[in-house]
Amino acid sequence: MIDKIINTCVLGASGYTGADFIRLAARHPHVHISALTAHSHAGREMAEVFPHLATLDLPRLTTLDEVDFSGIDAVVCGLPHGTTQKIIAGLPDSVKIIDMSADFRLRDTQVYEQTYGKPHQASELQKSAVYGLTELNRADIKNTRLVACPGCYPTAVLLALSPLLGNKVILADDIIIDAKSGITGAGRGLKQNTLFSEAGEGLSAYGVAVHRHSPEIEQELTKAGGHDVVANFTPHLVPMSRGELVTCHVKLAHGTSADDLRQSLAEHYYGEPFMHILAPNTYPATQHVRGSNQCHIGVFADRIPGRAIVIAAIDNLVKGSAGQALQNFNVMFEIEETTGLEQLPIFP
Amino acid sequence: MIDKIINTCVLGASGYTGADFIRLAARHPHVHISALTAHSHAGREMAEVFPHLATLDLPRLTTLDEVDFSGIDAVVCGLPHGTTQKIIAGLPDSVKIIDMSADFRLRDTQVYEQTYGKPHQASELQKSAVYGLTELNRADIKNTRLVACPGCYPTAVLLALSPLLGNKVILADDIIIDAKSGITGAGRGLKQNTLFSEAGEGLSAYGVAVHRHSPEIEQELTKAGGHDVVANFTPHLVPMSRGELVTCHVKLAHGTSADDLRQSLAEHYYGEPFMHILAPNTYPATQHVRGSNQCHIGVFADRIPGRAIVIAAIDNLVKGSAGQALQNFNVMFEIEETTGLEQLPIFP
Amino acid sequence: MIDKIINTCVLGASGYTGADFIRLAARHPHVHISALTAHSHAGREMAEVFPHLATLDLPRLTTLDEVDFSGIDAVVCGLPHGTTQKIIAGLPDSVKIIDMSADFRLRDTQVYEQTYGKPHQASELQKSAVYGLTELNRADIKNTRLVACPGCYPTAVLLALSPLLGNKVILADDIIIDAKSGITGAGRGLKQNTLFSEAGEGLSAYGVAVHRHSPEIEQELTKAGGHDVVANFTPHLVPMSRGELVTCHVKLAHGTSADDLRQSLAEHYYGEPFMHILAPNTYPATQHVRGSNQCHIGVFADRIPGRAIVIAAIDNLVKGSAGQALQNFNVMFEIEETTGLEQLPIFP
Amino acid sequence: MIDKIINTCVLGASGYTGADFIRLAARHPHVHISALTAHSHAGREMAEVFPHLATLDLPRLTTLDEVDFSGIDAVVCGLPHGTTQKIIAGLPDSVKIIDMSADFRLRDTQVYEQTYGKPHQASELQKSAVYGLTELNRADIKNTRLVACPGCYPTAVLLALSPLLGNKVILADDIIIDAKSGITGAGRGLKQNTLFSEAGEGLSAYGVAVHRHSPEIEQELTKAGGHDVVANFTPHLVPMSRGELVTCHVKLAHGTSADDLRQSLAEHYYGEPFMHILAPNTYPATQHVRGSNQCHIGVFADRIPGRAIVIAAIDNLVKGSAGQALQNFNVMFEIEETTGLEQLPIFP
């Protein structure tokens, strides 16, 4: 295994998740970056598009059409939803696919169509996709060819709540997920509301009840809980670049306490290298996971009897996207799971 | 009334709320700032302590003992809780008091003692204090000598929820208040967690279930709803200086909708100069009220049937403290209520 | 004068300088905002484009063509350079024009063409334009019909250096202007480098030697000094929304000291309401002028004998643009110069 | 060499530079962290003091007295200046010392006393100290027992200017260093001016002509240039946590151009793993080196004939302190110099 080299192509290398995958993969001993695509930047060097990667020796950016997939072992996709379904469906069987986009996350392609506004173009392939939340789905990820990496919000929410629903220590009704994300969550596209002068020194909610991560969260909470879950999901845009905090307000199952929840999570994640269940009265903070693949979770009793608050913090670009993609990559290629992901959080 | 001049003393002029009161009052045609106290800065000029006020002609900072209250009409108190109860109790009857501290907010002095950790030292005076949420309590404020201005969080929460509870369009149980504040909410004292390098580019919750604003919120929601309310209150620290957003997750009363809630608030606040109920699908944002006394409220349907989300945005130092203090000052001295508070939000 | 009302049209109301002019003018007792134009937003309400102004009763945004200039007394232009020269040239003589764009700042239309890349389209009108740095040019502003308000950087630089050159206490050679601006200086247009995630938590220089404010600075320094000045101008982009600091490294004239410079400025600006020359060892800071029309200047001795450092701080959108425009407006219409500009800096 | 383990003690582990050294060293295959001291936090776990390091298995914090230096190979000191001179002087000869404090940087202990306000307490030891700017002093660092790591500002300035002075392509007079630093440069101590609400959304200069890094810069520029250098040094505090940019305004030697300077630097640093000389018209930006040990340098022609601008960007905590300390550590212990420092910049 020492000299195993995986030839890897990154689709969408001019976006934040693509670039963060490259940042991590460039120091991974078994990854060779063989091709990089970026539609509107084809022909340019990565150094021009992402100067922080200028010291790397990377292939020039190309269009999708220019990629020769014959020598490629792995495709990592960081493109906007809906743009690569056909291409991915047409890849040789020998290529493993780690998709960071939303294309294969929703099992029901009708829900996909309702959520993303157009019919799914690779519904057959969808059936073989595995939902790539590594800690909760490791065995299936290992044996699949196509991993649909979760959205950043679902990653944090499901890491916090799925084991609790599975263990029946919380109830499935009235789950309130008050979520907060840094601005990179909106991507590198040009939008007025993500300009520094618009988003800085300010805070607002957005996408209440209609955010595209809602069906994804509900799909997986339903799976964990064993019956249909409809959950509140209220995201907010926070003036920071990286980081995501989900504050989940839940009902305790009869006879359980916040301490039981914490204990349940600690047991569930025992031995997991990236999961850190915090001691009582200790608050997760996004600045304490920044740049790393870690997820910190804290549990708190509520003033309202019978309720608790479960809070999870991740870096939305790492554990919420590129880091988890690399973690899945390691699982799929039978490489030690922490390889390339050893970086500690960078604070301050 | 044109030449009415109110001689005003500000206690605690070296804190953020004291300074912001001065910023506003300095342009108020009926306020004369006669004395400024600041314990540890006594003897210094305001220009040294707050260089942004250097162009004003202000009295030198003094100790409390140095103030001659005989010519003072109004005392505005921006001191930490518990430090002025005796002094305020000893002021001449002719002085009106606008207290921005927490000292007289809780009607039950036993709750005060539990919350603030020491016995109340002016429990007789407490009985005559009026809770100074102007829009909800204007008549009483007009006729009192002592106004206890609400905390910043309670201001936003109560403006959003009290009329809805009063009108019985929402239920009093299971109220989840997920709140977010800028760093000025923690004051100007030196604390590690409010250093730029600790708070910047990060987000965390704090004080879950034990924050001192909880009893205050519950006291007033109980009053509005007519029976005991215990509410979830989960504050978060956001990397911005000013601004506060409260995201209130509530249950709809039988037969009501999110639209009904919006309509109820719009009717309740009709004609109020600082209240702005937003159109459907419009999100309150702290950057759109910054520096002003405005409160923006939006109402949203939840994915969970029978629930809604009510979101309010204020500037924590203005409507959440110094601005509301000046608004109460105007009411108490029978001055046009918007005087000195006409400043529009400053954006970006 | 009490009931003098100036019917005012703002061109380019969807940009930051246009909006900030409206923020200030809306509270100005003699301004009536009669028309607002915004090419790509025509037909919309200001509340949609700038929600912080939603509580104002403003005319709907229109195209330029829709404006009836017959009842207009003043036009304030906040459009990108080059887009209104012909329109302004065609306005009735009765209309006074305060131009916040760069169109009429450069007296030599050949320099204009070199700098802005296209021929000037109103070169006759240019001859009558007055450079609108109020403190240095008040008499001419009072008697003109067309004021070209300075760029934000030139405002700060010239307020700091012009009187010193005029008084011959500094030399005209080797002037190094190391300038720093908040992100609003780049406007509201969509550019990748002004996204929150690109500009936040970072710092870089830009436009070294080629920035369009260089010829403007040199034109006015030349005028102040009496002979040709070529100056270094090195702007930097700082992760804050508002604020501009220019650090000017200059050579002392023979026999003068940093203290002489400070004294010279203090005398020159004596009685000026917006100019504040700081005491020795006191540093100007952009956060201490934020939101106000003030300019703070500090002077410091250098370690290198015969040199000094002159530092000026302004709010780039106020004194650097919209505030100075309103100040010029007041001068042109013989209104008390501070009217509408009394707002104190907002800190924190 | 594969199994070489260096037992390392970090003095001052509760400060930012100490913590950042641990962040890097924890992933270094040859470092074993044997002891951590932190005066006021003795007895506590690092997880309490720096929660981002909570997943590491680190020794408990102790006082200096509790450290048994007998098994220690290396001491890395991150303490405030003046606090460890005696202790370091008393360490066994077998211990190598990498000092990130200012204690041994100034060769002339009289200059030290003038600069730091107290006599040097280990002036004999000072004579054997090597100034630890790795790229400029590698040979001496390899053969010494005590390395005085440069200050963050001197690191950036000297990397930019020393080779140019040495190659005589710039002149030694009238060097203007306009420097900008993120807030971590002020350390973790509690100071009002580094509170989020004071430093955020603002910018100011500080320490003009008297900053303690001035004598250090002049000492090393003098060494590089071969005769006495007195330089302007004007630092500014920028609202970001990490990052440092120095904008050096210099005079070209007769007959040289900005392009010659760029070429000279490129040749000087050829093969250096952390030095990156940018192409013409490319601007260094602190966000493109964040979290890494890289230094990016750009050179620009000035509008003033005969002058140029040399700009360098580093992460003040990494190349400006902890990273360079680890780089020196590697040199001293004959380990591949990039070990533990491979992390790419983290952007955004």
- pLDDT tens, position by position, D220-245: 999 999 999 999 999 999 999 999 99
How far apart CA A288 and CA A315 sit, in angstroms, is: 9
Paired strand residues for C310: C248, C299
Q: Give burial (CB, 10 Å; 0-12/13-18/19+) of D348.
A: buried
* The two structure tokens encoding residue C304: 């290198």
**Residue A303 located in a structural domain:** yes
Distance CA A91, CA B102 (A): 66
Whole-angstrom CA distances from C304 to B333, D217, D229, D230 are 59, 14, 9, 6
> What is the C-alpha separation between C235 and C320, in angstroms, rounded?
15
Nearest to B194 among D195, D239, D240 (CB): D195
In the prediction, which pLDDT does C83 show? 86
D228 touches chain C (CB under 8 A): no
Say if B53 is an interface residue toward chain C (CB within 8 Å): yes
C-alpha distances out from residue C171 to A67, B340, C216, Å: 61, 46, 19
Cβ-based contacts under 8 A for chains A and D: 74
Same domain, residue pair A259 and A276: yes
Q: Across the interface, do B303 and A239 touch by the CB < 8 Å criterion? A: no
Q: For chains C and D, count residue pairs whose Cβ atoms are closer than 8 Å.
A: 175
Q: What are the angstrom distances between the C-alpha of A36 and each of A65, A76, A78, A122, B267?
A: 11, 10, 11, 23, 57
Min Cα separation A306/chain C (Å): 40
Q: Is the pTM of this model over 0.90?
A: yes
348 residues of chain B, pLDDT tens digit each: 457 999 999 999 999 999 999 999 999 999 999 999 998 999 999 999 999 999 999 999 999 999 999 999 999 999 988 888 988 998 999 999 999 999 999 999 999 999 999 999 999 999 999 999 999 999 999 999 999 999 999 999 999 999 999 999 999 999 999 999 999 999 999 999 999 999 999 999 999 989 999 999 999 999 999 999 999 999 999 999 999 999 999 999 999 999 999 999 999 999 999 999 999 999 999 999 999 999 999 999 999 999 999 999 999 999 999 999 999 999 999 999 999 999 999 999
CATH number, domain with residue A73: 3.40.50.720
Residue A17 with chain C: CB contacts under 8 Å: none
Query: Which H helix or E strand runs over A204?
Result: strand A204-205
Q: How close, in Å, is residue B195 to chain A by CA atoms? A: 10
SS3 for C6? strand
User: Which two three-digit tokens encode residue C256?
Assistant: 């003068």
A276: in domain: yes
Burial class for D44, CB neighbours closer than 10 Å (0-12, 13-18, 19+): middle
Catalytic residue among A149, A152, A248, A295: A152
- D197 → closest Cβ in B192, B198, B241: B241
Q: What are phi and psi of A143, to 5 degrees?
A: -105, 15
User: In sequence order, what are the residues at sequence separation of 6 or more whose Cβ sits closer than 8 angstroms to the Cβ of residue B65?
Assistant: none
CA dihedral C45, C49, C52, C54 (to 10 degrees): 10
Residue D1: pLDDT band (50, 70, 90) is very low
Hey, what are A261's tokens?
């929840």
Cross-chain Cβ contact B174/A284 below 8 Å: no
Question: With contacts defined as CB-CB under 8 Å, which chain C residues touch A41?
Answer: none
Q: Quote the tokens at residue D28.
A: 């270094």
Do C112 and C93 belong to one domain?
A: yes
Q: How many domains does chain C have?
A: 2
CATH number assigned to the domain comprising residue C306: 3.30.360.10
* Domain-embedded: residue B348: no
Is C308 in contact with C252 (CB distance < 8 Å)?
Answer: yes
**Exposed, middle or buried, D95 (CB in 10 Å: 0-12/13-18/19+)?**
middle
Q: Does the beta-carbon distance from D236 to C245 stay under 8 Å?
A: yes
Looking at the domain assignment, is residue B346 inside a domain? no
Marked catalytic residue, from C9, C152, C248, C295: C152
Predicted confidence (pLDDT) per residue in A115-162, tens digit: 999 999 999 999 999 999 999 999 999 999 999 999 999 999 999 999
Cα–Cα distance for residue pair D97/D8, rounded to 1 Å: 10
Contact B54 C346 (CB under 8 A): no
Q: How far apart are CA B123 and CA B114, in angstroms?
A: 14
Residue type, D266: A
Which residue is closest to B202 within chain D, CA to CA? D241
Per-residue pLDDT of C76-89, as tens digits, reads 999 988 888 988 99
Q: What is the DSSP letter of B100?
A: -
Please tell me whether residues C95 and C30 are part of one structural domain.
yes
Residue B344 lies in a domain: no
Judging contacts by C-beta atoms under 8 Å, the chain A residues touching residue D19 are 347
CB contact under 8 A, D205 and C313: no
Across the A:C interface, residue pairs with CB atoms under 8 Å apart total 58
B44 close contact with D: CB closer than 8 A: no
Task: Name beta bridge partners: B237.
Answer: B181, B204
Q: How many CA atoms lie within 13 A of B143 on its CB side?
A: 3
- Give yes or no: residues D122 and D18 share one domain: yes
Q: Searching chain A, which residue's CA lies closest to the CA of residue B313?
A: A204
Helices (H) and strands (E) in chain D, counts: 11, 14
For chain B, the residue count is 348
**C-alpha span between D90 and D99 (Å, rounded):** 14
Across the interface, of C50, C51, C294, the residue whose CB is closest to B55 is: C294
For the question of an ipTM over 0.95, the answer is yes
Strand (E) positions, D31-95?
Answer: 31-37, 61-62, 74-77
Residue B11 φ then ψ, to 5°: -90, 130
CB contact under 8 A, D200 and B183: yes
Q: Are residue D26 and residue D132 in the same domain, yes or no?
A: yes
pLDDT tens profile D48-102:
999 999 999 999 999 999 999 999 999 999 998 888 898 899 999 999 999 999 9
Nearest to C204 by CA among D180, A15, D205, D347: D180
Phi/psi at A308 (5° precision): -145, 170
Asked if residue D13 is part of any domain, the answer here is yes
| Residue B76 sits in the same domain as residue B128 | yes
- D162-194 in b/e burial notation, b at 16+ Cβ within 10 A? bbbbbbebbbbebbbbbbbbbbbbbbbeeeeeb
Yes or no: say if A183 and A119 are a contact pair by the CB < 8 Å rule. Answer: no
Shortest alpha-carbon distance between residue A2 and chain B (Å): 38
Cβ neighbors of A88 (< 8 A, separation 6 or more) are A75, A77, A97, A99, A103, A122, A125, A146
* DSSP 8-state code for residue A343: P
Please provide residue B246's backbone torsions phi and psi, each rounded to the nearest 5 degrees.
Answer: -115, 125
| pLDDT for res A1 | 47
| Residue B95 and residue B221 share a domain | no
D198/D339 Cα distance (integer angstroms):
38
Q: How far is B345 from chain C (nearest CA, A)?
A: 6
CA C260, CA A144: separation in Å to the nearest integer?
A: 77
Give the DSSP H/E element, type plus range, for residue C325: helix C323-332
Asked if the Cβ–Cβ distance from A348 to D241 is below 8 Å, we say yes
C-alpha B122/C-alpha B111 separation (Å) is 14
Shared domain check, A58 and A163: no
D-chain residues within 8 Å CB-CB of A291? 291, 346
Name the catalytic one among D9, D77, D149, D152: D152
A33 shares a domain with A141: yes
Q: Do D105 and D171 fall into the same domain?
A: no
- B118 and B204: one domain? no
Q: Is B295 a catalytic residue?
A: no
Which residues in chain A are contacts of C194 at CB distance < 8 A? 195-197
* Closest chain B residue to the Cα of A198, Cα to Cα: B348
Give the helix ranges, DSSP H, for chain B.
Answer: 16-25, 46-49, 85-89, 109-116, 123-126, 134-142, 152-166, 196-199, 213-225, 258-268, 323-332
Contact D196 B16 (CB under 8 A): no
Q: Are residues B171 and B296 in the same domain?
A: yes
First CA to last CA distance, chain D: 36
Q: Do B198 and A287 touch (CB under 8 A)?
A: yes
**Chains interfacing with A (3 or more CB pairs < 8 Å):** B, C, D
In Å, how far is B164's CA from the nearest CA of chain A?
20
- The answer to whether B291 contacts C291, with C-beta atoms less than 8 Å apart, is yes
Three-state DSSP class for residue D301: strand
C347 belongs to a structural domain = no
A291 within domain boundaries: yes
Tokens representing B103 are 């000292």
Range of the domain at D262: 153-316
- The answer to whether D196 contacts B195, with C-beta atoms less than 8 Å apart, is yes
Report residue A226 CA to chain centroid gap. 23
